[in-house]
Amino acid sequence: MFRCAICGVSTEHKEGFVFKVRHAPHYLLLCFRTPFFCVIDGKRIEGKAGDCLLHRPGETVIHGPLDDASQFINDWIYFSADEGEMEQLAPLFDTLIPLEKADALAASLNSVMKESVRNDPFSARLVSDTIYRMLVILKRAEGQQKKEDVSLYLRFSGARVKILNHYNEKWDLAKMAGLLGYSVSRFCALYTEFFGQSPMNDLLDKRLEMAKQLLALRAYKVGDVADMCGFASIHYFSNFFKKRTGKSPAEYA
């Protein structure tokens, strides 16, 4: 069975509020009503209204508003579970999972609060079932997120192929982001998440690879190679090439 220790619905916090607990004693499920930050594996991560987060017992918990002046509201529940209950659900811990509505868990949490106060012979079972239902909602949202992530990854892969296949074009971040209709900051964040480096560094790696191949042919002048690989000037190309390879383009050729 699942048991509620304490919970809250639409809890408003004062300006500058930051919640810090070094070792949370129970499982902690959070659903954020407003934009927020949290710390996962020592890294600050920003989230949006509707995102949920599940922590294991014993973990350090840190979250709060994006800045001191921002409003911060969330739904939350500390709960425990019999051995094996959480393993059967296999939920994702320490991962932001978006729900369609920011108050998606509010009705369930209100039900848990009412049954905890009622505390009649049926309450424990109803509280357990309601917590289980919330975790199932989270699990299903997790599955939907994975499908969306795959679709998004494929879109970014297509954009990456186009950028790298046309490495000699005049690319800037705005032009790259425009391929998918994203802001520059969001495009760069997702690109880096998917491919392990920024879009511009990825492009520069491709240009360097092609420059090496062209220089090895000994058929082109350094200036021609710089132009053919999309570098803005021979000066920039020469400095970049030597920094990456330890040799000037002329020495490499």
CATH number at residue 183: 1.10.10.60
- 107, with CB counted inside 10 A (0-12, 13-18, 19+), is exposed
In which band, very low, low, confident or very high, does the pLDDT at 150 lie, cut at 50, 70 and 90? Answer: confident
Q: What's the pLDDT tens digit per position in 34-78?
A: 999 999 988 899 999 999 999 999 999 999 999 887 889 999 999
DSSP 57: T
Q: Beta-carbon neighbour count of residue 192 at 10 Å?
A: 14
Pair 93, 198 in one domain: no
Strands, sheet with 72-81, edge to edge from the N-terminal-most edge strand: 2-13, 72-81, 27-32, 51-55, 97-98
**pLDDT for res 80:** 96
Angle value at C-alpha 107, between 104 and 110, nearest 5 degrees: 130
Pair 76, 104 in one domain: yes
CATH number at residue 135: 2.60.120.280
Containing 60, the helix (H) or strand (E) segment is none
Average pLDDT, the chain: 92
Minimal CA–CA distance to 131: which of 110, 152, 150? 110
Pair 194, 116 in one domain: no
Pair 88, 134 in one domain: yes
**pLDDT for res 253:** 67
Q: Does residue 184 lie in a domain region?
A: yes
**pLDDT for res 2:** 97
Pair 9, 107 in one domain: yes
3-state secondary structure of 19: strand
- 33, with CB counted inside 10 A (0-12, 13-18, 19+), is buried
Which tokens go with 27? 């499982």
Mean pLDDT of 115-130: 96
Q: Does residue 152 lie in a domain region?
A: no
Q: Residue 183 belongs to what domain range?
A: 166-253
Torsion, CA 212, CA 213, CA 214, CA 217, rounded to 10? 120
The number of domains in the chain is 2
Q: Beta-carbon neighbour count of residue 181 at 10 Å?
A: 9
- 183, with CB counted inside 10 A (0-12, 13-18, 19+), is exposed
Q: What's the pLDDT tens digit per position in 171-180?
A: 999 999 999 9
Pair 104, 216 in one domain: no
Pair 134, 60 in one domain: yes
Single-letter amino acid code for the residue at 157: S
Percent of the chain having pLDDT more than 90?
74
Q: Does residue 158 lie in a domain region?
A: no
